[in-house]
């Protein structure tokens, strides 16, 4: 260096002129924080690798598409009765329909046969599936909303508030839920039958009471988990560390609380769906579910019992549908748990 | 039995009693919120007759007084008179039905735990092998099948098509299919619990120590591992009871077993409110007590668990 300012070469004095400002690009190289989306991306990558879970997801999407789109252009409706076409086996035609075919007209086949009132069975099973999916999704929604609000309030405030709120949760948790669903649906059956509201009348006693009971009882496990997460995250060293380097509450909530709760929320919501579908079909089987003539997979299976020996297919189709739906949701739930559970991450 | 355990026991018992009281209150007030009188739905009766009947069953007093009386009566084991089966007391009908339901339910529960523990342990010990995969696929399928689907399919295949078993529960051998249809779901659940708990225990240090000092494999499994794997299964006893008791409602209807579940569904059809209340409270008490026993056993068998 030509313009040496300091005489002593061993001097520790620094010459500011030798430094230059870092460019933005060079600054960016120093940022070690991962992108904020990477948690979700990470989980989704793991989920995509899980072939069973992805297959279940595809099946659920297919079933949902069939349940919500097919009735729009299907030639039969779930209410239309045809006394000449009672209890037809799958792909059979009634005498009247056979005559039409002989004349050269086309008749849409009864893919799953018809029931004892001559209604097309396929469209009834599809409508039942639609009911099951709706019940599952809405119940999960109720549980998610109430559980998160309750759990995060309890976890955030802690202390006495938390103790009282968790005692309430303990009591609700030990109530026998299915019995209370049954009790409520018995009690509100009359009220639903005479209700002015078209929506309530269409839903039926069982559905209304399922939603009421999910709102009253089923959110407790979600609330417990969310509270537990928030309590434990509050105490974590990495939260303390980020506070120490000057992170505000907004950053802690965004970077630590939400990503850690999201996994629990997704896992429990996914587990909630099959359990709601189970409960709805159980109630419909007991005759407490949707109102006639609206079909549900449970009530279809129940009706099939009267002529089980002669028309076993009337049991097989709804049974298969409910099995497939619950199985797919269970497997997807397992996949989501494996993908999102931070404890299993490696 | 130390003081800490005793205080836990008392706390847990008070909790159970409070829950039972809440169930009674919910049941009572929900049933009383129904506008219709249980007698008005029947054939034409004069107002005087209905009033007389209501006075007889105590329906004319204020609700709070009725609730107090109902509580007092329950404490004496008196659940009132059935209006659906005239001339019978609710408690007699419940006990009559329960003798059937208990036989099916306890057999199913017992078998579910035995088979579940064995299958789960086998799956864990053969981890990753064909047998493990087979057991896992089967249990996953079984927990996706509601009890009524299971029961109707068993009825269709084994009673109606193959004629191996009678289709009615009151015939000899008729309780076999109801028991099987009730036990499969809890069995699959116990299998899953037992598998993961066994895998967990087998990875513990004390198992490695036992193996390192040359203990035989069978002795490691039965003496060291099995005892420590059973705690999750014990906590499932309460929920299993709940599943079996509610499941018996559909299963008893499907196989025409004159048990408590069938009684319950029939009392709904006959709008027998005293009966509905009685059975709900009875079943709920059973479930809550089972949960209580499960929780206590859990602490007894595993002293490591903190008695919070």
What are the tens digits of pLDDT across the range A83-92? 676 766 776 7
Contact check, Cβ <8 Å, B15/A176: no
Residue A5 has pLDDT above 70, yes or no: no
Which residues, at least 6 apart from B58, have a Cβ–Cβ distance to it below 8 Å? B66, B69
Q: Supply the pLDDT for residue B115.
A: 94
pLDDT single digits (tens) B164-185: 877 776 777 778 888 998 899 9
Q: Supply the pLDDT for residue A3.
A: 54
Residue A340 has pLDDT above 90, yes or no: no
Average pLDDT of the segment spanning A99-107: 72
Helix axes B90-125, B260-269, angle to 10 degrees: 130
Contact check, Cβ <8 Å, B156/A171: no
What would the two tokens of residue B197 be?
Answer: 């708990």
pLDDT band at A281 (very low <50, low <70, confident <90, very high): confident
pLDDT band at A346 (very low <50, low <70, confident <90, very high): very low
Q: Supply the pLDDT for residue A259.
A: 73
**A interface mutation test: which of B8, B16, B23, B146 has the most A CBs within 10 A?**
B146
Average pLDDT of the segment spanning A110-128: 77
Distance of CA B187 to CAs B106, B113, B118, B120, B154, Å? 13, 6, 10, 10, 16
Q: In whole angstroms, what is the distance from residue A237 CA to residue B176 CA?
A: 57
pLDDT single digits (tens) A145-191: 888 888 888 887 778 888 888 888 888 887 887 888 888 877 777 67
Contact check, Cβ <8 Å, A187/B34: yes
Q: Supply the pLDDT for residue A70.
A: 81
Residue B43 has pLDDT above 60, yes or no: no
Q: Supply the pLDDT for residue A345.
A: 42
CA A270 to centroid of chain Cα atoms: 4
- Mean pLDDT for chain B overall: 82
Q: Supply the pLDDT for residue B306.
A: 59
Residue B221 has pLDDT above 60, yes or no: yes
In A, minimum Cα distance to B32 occurs at A187
What would the two tokens of residue B301 be?
Answer: 């068998």
Q: Supply the pLDDT for residue B119.
A: 93
Q: Supply the pLDDT for residue B118.
A: 93
Dihedral angle sign, alpha carbons of residues A127, A128, A130, A135: positive
Residue A40 has pLDDT above 60, yes or no: yes
pLDDT band at B64 (very low <50, low <70, confident <90, very high): confident
Please state whether the peptide bond connecting residue B73 to the residue before it is cis, i.e. omega within 30 degrees of 0.
no
Average pLDDT of the segment spanning B30-46: 63
pLDDT band at B44 (very low <50, low <70, confident <90, very high): low
Residue B38 has pLDDT above 60, yes or no: no
Query: Measured between beta carbons, which residues in chain A are less than 8 angstroms from residue B144?
Result: 274, 323, 326-327, 330
Average pLDDT of the segment spanning A274-287: 84
Nearest CB to A190; choose among B23, B35, B143? B35
> Where in chain B are the domains?
96-200+228-272
- Mean pLDDT for chain A overall: 79
Residue A128 has pLDDT above 90, yes or no: no
Residues linked to residue B63 through DSSP beta bridges, in sequence order: none
Average pLDDT of the segment spanning B88-108: 86
Residue A247 has pLDDT above 60, yes or no: yes
**B interface mutation test: which of A166, A176, A284, A338 has the most B CBs within 10 A?**
A176
pLDDT band at A4 (very low <50, low <70, confident <90, very high): low
Q: Supply the pLDDT for residue B59.
A: 67
Query: Measured between beta carbons, which residues in chain B are less than 8 angstroms from residue A178?
Result: 242, 246
A307 vs A48 pLDDT, higher one: A48
Nearest CB to A308; choose among B26, B156, B246? B156
Residue A140 has pLDDT above 80, yes or no: yes
Give pTM, 2 decimals: 0.79
* b/e code A102-136 from CB counts within 10 Å (16+ = b): eeeeeeebbebbbbeebbbbbbbbbbbbbbbbbbb
DSSP three-state, residue A114: strand
Nearest CB to B18; choose among A171, A178, A287? A171
What would the two tokens of residue A50 be?
Answer: 């899980």
DSSP three-state, residue A267: helix
Query: Measured between beta carbons, which residues in chain A are less than 8 angstroms from residue B27?
Result: 183
pLDDT band at B57 (very low <50, low <70, confident <90, very high): low
Contact check, Cβ <8 Å, A282/B147: yes
A167–B contact, CB cutoff 8 A: no
pLDDT single digits (tens) A60-83: 999 999 888 887 787 777 777 766
A184–B contact, CB cutoff 8 A: yes
Determine contact, residues A100/A123, Cβ cutoff 8 Å.
Answer: no
Percent of all residues in chain B with a pLDDT value above 70, rounded to a whole number: 91
**Interface predicted TM-score of the whole assembly (ipTM), two decimals:** 0.79
Determine contact, residues B113/B190, Cβ cutoff 8 Å.
Answer: yes
In B, minimum Cα distance to A176 occurs at B284
Distance of CA A270 to CAs A52, A91, A143, A188, A340, Å? 15, 36, 11, 29, 12
Q: Supply the pLDDT for residue B296.
A: 83
Residue B203 has pLDDT above 50, yes or no: yes
């Amino acid at each position: 260096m030509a313009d040496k300012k300091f005489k002593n070469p061993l001097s520790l004095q620094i010459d500011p002129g030798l430094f230059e400002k870092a460019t933005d690009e060079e600054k960016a190289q120093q940022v070690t924080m991962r992108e904020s989306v990477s948690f979700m991306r990470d989980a989704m990558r793991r989920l995509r690798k899980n072939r069973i879970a992805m297959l279940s997801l595809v099946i659920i999407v297919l079933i949902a598409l069939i349940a919500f789109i097919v009735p729009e252009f299907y030639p039969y409706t779930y209410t239309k009765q045809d006394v000449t076409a009672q209890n037809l086996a799958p792909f059979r035609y009634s005498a009247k329909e056979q005559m039409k075919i002989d004349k050269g007209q086309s008749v849409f086949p009864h893919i799953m046969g018809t029931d004892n009132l001559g209604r097309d069975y396929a469209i009834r099973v599809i409508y039942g599936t639609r009911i099951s999916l709706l019940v599952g999704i809405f119940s999960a929604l109720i549980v998610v909303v109430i559980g998160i609000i309750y759990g995060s309030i309890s976890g955030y405030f802690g202390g006495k508030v938390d103790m009282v709120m968790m005692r309430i949760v303990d009591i609700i948790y030990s109530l026998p839920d299915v019995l209370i669903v049954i009790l409520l649906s018995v009690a509100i059956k009359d009220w639903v039958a005479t209700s002015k509201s078209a929506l309530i009348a269409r839903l039926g006693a069982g559905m209304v009471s399922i939603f009421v009971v999910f709102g009253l009882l089923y959110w407790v496990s979600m609330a417990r988990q969310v509270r537990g997460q928030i309590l434990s995250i509050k105490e974590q060293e990495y939260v303390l560390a980020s506070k120490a380097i000057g992170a505000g509450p907004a950053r802690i909530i965004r970077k630590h609380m939400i990503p850690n709760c999201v996994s629990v929320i997704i896992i429990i919501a996914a587990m909630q769906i099959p359990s709601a579908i189970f409960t709805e079909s159980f109630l419909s089987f007991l005759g407490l579910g949707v109102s006639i003539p609206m079909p549900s997979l449970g009530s279809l299976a129940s009706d099939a019992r009267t002529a089980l020996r002669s028309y076993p297919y009337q049991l097989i189709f709804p049974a298969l549908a409910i099995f497939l739906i619950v199985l797919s949701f269970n497997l997807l739930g397992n996949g989501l748990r494996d993908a999102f559970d931070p404890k299993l991450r490696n | 039995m130390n003081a800490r355990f005793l205080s836990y026991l008392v706390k847990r018992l008070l909790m159970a009693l409070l829950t039972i009281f809440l169930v009674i209150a919910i049941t009572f007030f929900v049933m009383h919120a129904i506008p219709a009188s249980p007698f008005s739905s029947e054939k034409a009766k004069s107002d005087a007759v209905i009033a007389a009947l209501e006075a007889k069953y105590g329906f004319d007093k204020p609700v709070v007084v009725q609730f107090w009386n109902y509580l007092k009566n329950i404490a004496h084991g008196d659940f009132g008179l059935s209006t659906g089966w005239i001339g019978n007391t609710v408690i007699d009908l419940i006990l009559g039905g329960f003798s059937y339901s208990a036989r099916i339910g306890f057999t199913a529960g017992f078998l579910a735990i035995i088979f579940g523990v064995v299958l789960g342990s086998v799956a864990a010990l053969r981890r990753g092998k064909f047998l493990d995969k087979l057991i896992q696929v089967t249990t996953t399928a079984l927990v996706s099948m509601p009890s009524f689907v299971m029961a109707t399919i068993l009825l269709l295949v084994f009673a109606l098509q193959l004629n191996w078993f009678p289709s009615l529960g009151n015939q000899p051998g008729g309780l076999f299919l109801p028991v099987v249809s009730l036990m499969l779901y809890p069995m699959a659940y116990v299998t899953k619990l037992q598998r993961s708990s066994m895998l967990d225990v087998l990875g513990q240090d004390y198992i490695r120590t036992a193996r390192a000092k040359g203990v035989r494999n069978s002795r490691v499994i039965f003496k060291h591992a099995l005892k420590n794997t059973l705690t999750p299964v014990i906590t499932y006893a309460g929920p299993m009871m709940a599943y079996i008791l509610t499941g018996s409602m559909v299963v008893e209807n499907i196989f025409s077993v004159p048990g408590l579940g069938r009684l319950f569904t029939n009392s709904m059809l006959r709008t027998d409110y005293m009966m509905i209340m009685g059975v709900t409270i009875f079943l709920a008490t059973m479930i809550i007590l089972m949960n209580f026993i499960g929780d206590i056993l859990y602490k007894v068998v595993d002293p490591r668990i903190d008695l919070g």
